[in-house]
Amino acid sequence: MSAVQLTYEDCKRILAQERLPRAFVNLDAFDSNARKMFSILEGTGKTMRIASKSLRCADLLGRAFELGGAAAKGVMSFTVEEADFLVRRGFDDILVAYPTARAKDFEILCGLAARGADVSIVCDSEENARALSAAGRAAGVVIQLVVEVDMSLRPAGGAAHLGVRRSTVRTGADALRVARAAEKAGGAAVIGIMGYEAQIAGMADENPFSRALNPARKLIREMSKPDVRRRRESVVSFLRKNGVDLRIVNGGGTGSLDFTSRDDSCTETTAGSGFYCPHLFSYYSNLDLTPAAFFALQASRFPARRMVACNGGGYVASGEAGEDRLPLPWLPKGARLTKLEGAGEVQTPVELPHGVSISPGDPVIFRHAKAGELTERFNELLLISDKDAVGYVPTYRGEGFCFL
């Protein structure tokens, strides 16, 4: 059964009494996306670690776990403070995916370990491993570490770097040095590795904003797969042969869920953005997801024929600057941003297609380019199911938190 999609008339009716701007989530599409993603894992023996940065809403994070059942295991968080918040909200098995060297974060990690919370943190250098281990030893606890292994593609003998810049650890020997540094200091232990193949998971290969580059993107994605599989297996094998007990071998993201779930060296995959399906995730040849998260702006000015100016809307996504990082007008169908103004801080002009008219105060519906970043602009999300409003849930911001 396909997800119930909202029409413009549906949105006008549902939002008639709402203050705008307003962010909202179509739960029917959210649930459909969840079922599709979890179905990819069937028969693989893998579980999914849900990326909290892509949701930034504890209630919807909990909903994702309910939908996933036994296939959903663990959270990938983005800061130590957020991990503490999630533990207090009842979540467990949390991997903080980004290293820290701050004393205050060490204090929080040690406090979590002392309370028996199953929290681990990514580490990508001997220096960081020693610092974390010293903090753990001083507090009388053991901090769990997951070594980040660089999965970027480096053709031509390393002359090119295709992927993200995250870690200097590339081989099993590199990872083992980090593990031994932690062991020697005595207050931390390596329990896993993480290898994020960004040039597969984070590279949309059917991007309508730069079509000429799509063949190259497809080539990079395909070239990367055997390289990633080989190197990840090599690191895992080397560490295990040298006595490192790996409980976690994490890889991937929504964009590589099909590939990573079939990598025998992985114990789990990660996904998050696919639940909301922001517009960048409609440009992957291997995904078939339904837009689930939106925001509505008020049409407040009418500066030209077939044009409205909306209040607010400059919610530009992070990453390499480009047209695809702008929010995408979604409803009415055929609406589009103007080339000269784009999405603005206090107003966003939108060109309307022939035959479409909008009245003052009517909503214009947009999709953000990325997932969780939308929630940083709103205190709550309006939830819609079966084409009707069913309630509100707070975002992290609505609960008073801004973790990064």
The CA distance from 196 to 176, in Å, is 18
Whole-structure pTM value? 0.95
Work out whether the CA dihedral 397, 21, 303, 335 comes out positive or negative: positive
Mean pLDDT to the nearest integer, 78-101:
97
CA distance 287 to 163: 20
Q: Does residue 157 surpass a pLDDT of 80? A: no
For residue 293, pLDDT beyond 60: yes
pLDDT value for 151:
85
* pLDDT digit string, tens, across residues 92-106: 999 999 999 999 999
Of 281, 300, 396, 391, the C-alpha closest to 344 is 300
User: What does pLDDT average to over the chain?
Assistant: 94
Average confidence (pLDDT) over 333-357:
93
pLDDT in tens, 197-219: 988 888 899 999 999 999 999 99
In a domain, 210, yes or no: yes
In the chain, what are the helix, strand and coil shares in percent, each to the nearest 5? 40, 25, 40
pLDDT, tens only, 22-48:
999 999 999 999 999 999 999 999 999
Our count of domains for the chain comes to 1
pLDDT tens digits, residue range 166-200? Answer: 888 889 999 999 999 999 888 999 999 999 898 88
Pairing of strands 22-26, 47-51: unpaired
Mean pLDDT, residues 221-236: 92
Amino acid, res. 204: A
Question: What is the average pLDDT across 286-314?
Answer: 95
* Beta-strand relationship, 248-251 and 188-195: parallel
Which domain CATH number covers 144? 3.20.20.10
Residue 381 has pLDDT above 70, yes or no: yes
Q: Tell whether 10 is covered by a domain.
A: no
Is residue 209 in some structural domain? yes
Q: How many alpha carbons fall within 13 Å on the CB side of residue 203?
A: 25
Structural domain boundaries, residue 85: 27-272
pLDDT over 90 (residue 162): no
Using the structure block, give the residue that is written with the tokens 């130590």: 80
Percent of the chain with pLDDT over 90: 86
Return the higher-pLDDT residue of 391 and 183.
Answer: 391
Of 225, 221, 191, 188, the residue nearest 207 (C-alpha): 221
Share of the chain above pLDDT 70, in %: 99
- Please state, in angstroms and rounded to a whole number, the distance separating the CA atoms of residues 161 and 156: 10
- 251 vs 19, 194, 335, 365, 385, CA distance in Å? 41, 6, 37, 34, 32
Tell me whether residue 313 is in a domain.
Answer: no
18 vs 61: CA distance, rounded Å: 24
Residue 307 lies in a domain: no
Decide if pLDDT at 69 tops 90: yes
Q: What is the predicted pLDDT for the residue at 404?
A: 86
**Predicted local distance difference test score (pLDDT) of residue 1:** 46
Contact 376, 370 (CB under 8 A): no
Residue 330 counted as domain residue = no
In sequence order, what are the beta bridge partners of 77? Answer: 96
Write down the pLDDT at residue 29: 97
Give the mean pLDDT of 347-362: 94
Let me know if residue 202 belongs to a domain: yes
Rounded mean pLDDT, 277-291? 95
Does any domain span residue 86?
A: yes
Output the pLDDT for position 4. Answer: 77
Half-sphere exposure of 127 toward its Cβ, with a 13 Å CA cutoff? Answer: 5
In the prediction, which pLDDT does 2 show?
Answer: 58
